[in-house]
Amino acid sequence: MFMESNSQYHIRKMLAGDIPQVMEIDLDAFPDQWPHPTSNSFQHELRNKLAHYIVIYQESSAASGDDGRGVIGLKEVVSYIRQLFNRDRFGGADNSNYGRERLAGMAGIWMMFDEAHIVTIAVRKTHKHQGLGEWLLLNIIDLSMQLRAKYVTLEVRVSNTAAQALYEKYGFSRAGTRKKYYSDNGEDAVIMTTCELDLPSYQDRLQRLKEDHHSRCSHCCAVHLMKFMEY
C-alpha cells in the first residue's frame, strides 16, 4: 500500500545546486556502497553530454508561498524569476534550489550509442513506499525514448530481488551476470535489459503501467511525459 502525501511530487532535470541533496540521497539509499560519488564527480556528470540525471522534489513552503499567511514575499518572487532565467544553466548559485525544494529521489542514465544505461535510481528512506522509485523508472524510460535509445539496460545486486521484480514488471529481462561487481562486498550483479522500446507491444505495456501507477500514486504529478529535451 502506498502512503498518502499532502503535497505533490514533481520531476525535473538535475541542476548543480541539487548536488548537496543528491549526495545525501545517495548515502541514505546506499549506506554500504563504496566509494560514494563526490561533489566533483556529480559536477562532472552534469557537464558530461552522455549523462542525463533527473530528480524528484517537493516544493517547500518558501518556494510555494504556503507559509500560513497566504502571502509570497518579494524575496521569493525575485528568487523565482532568477530561477526561470538560469534554470537551463549548470553551475552557479542562481540555479540552486537547495533549501527551497526538498529532493526525495534521483536517477541517471548514460547514453551509449543506441543504449540508455541506468547508472542509479535512489529514493530517501523517509520517502520509501510511495511509488517514487517506480515513478523515477517510468520517467527514465520516457527520457531514454526521447533520447532515441533503442534499449534500456542496468545492473542490480543479485540479492536485491525486490528491485529485480520491479524491473521485470517494466519489461527488463536477465541478460547475464557481472561477477564481484560491487566493491563493498564483492557481490555479483545481474545484467538486465529491455526489449526494443519502440515495439508496439512494449509501448502498450508501458502505457498500461503509467495509468496503473497514476491511479495508485495521485501524489505524483499527473504528467509523466516531461519534455526533458526542451527543459
Please give the pLDDT value at position 101.
Answer: 83
pLDDT band at 219 (very low <50, low <70, confident <90, very high): confident
Low-confidence winner among 40-49, 179-188, 219-228 (lowest mean pLDDT): 219-228
Q: Which of 155, 181, 187, 202 is catalytic?
A: 155
Q: Grid coordinates representing 37?
A: 560519488
SS3 content of the chain, % helix, strand, coil (to 5): 40, 25, 35
Whole-number pLDDT of residue 88: 41
What global pTM score does this model have?
0.79
Q: What is the pLDDT of residues 113-138, one digit of tens each?
A: 999 999 999 999 999 989 999 999 99
CATH ID of 10-222, from 3.40.630.30, 3.40.50.2300, 1.10.443.10, 3.40.640.10: 3.40.630.30
Burial class (CB in 10 A: 0-12, 13-18, 19+), 127: buried
- Is position 167 annotated as part of the catalytic site? yes
User: Mean pLDDT throughout 74-79?
Assistant: 45
Q: Give the pLDDT band (50/70/90) at residue 218.
A: confident
Q: How many helices (H) and strands (E) does the chain have?
A: 7, 7
Contact status, residue 116 vs residue 144, Cβ threshold 8 Å? yes
Question: Is residue 158 scored above 90 in pLDDT?
Answer: yes
Q: How far apart are CA 231 and CA 229, in angstroms?
A: 6
Output the pLDDT for position 125: 94
Q: How much is the mean pLDDT over the chain?
A: 81
Tell me phi and psi for residue 51, to 5 degrees.
Answer: -100, 140
Catalytic residue among 9, 53, 167, 170: 167
Q: Are 158 and 188 in contact (CB under 8 A)?
A: yes
pLDDT (tens digit per residue) in 15-30: 999 999 999 999 999 9
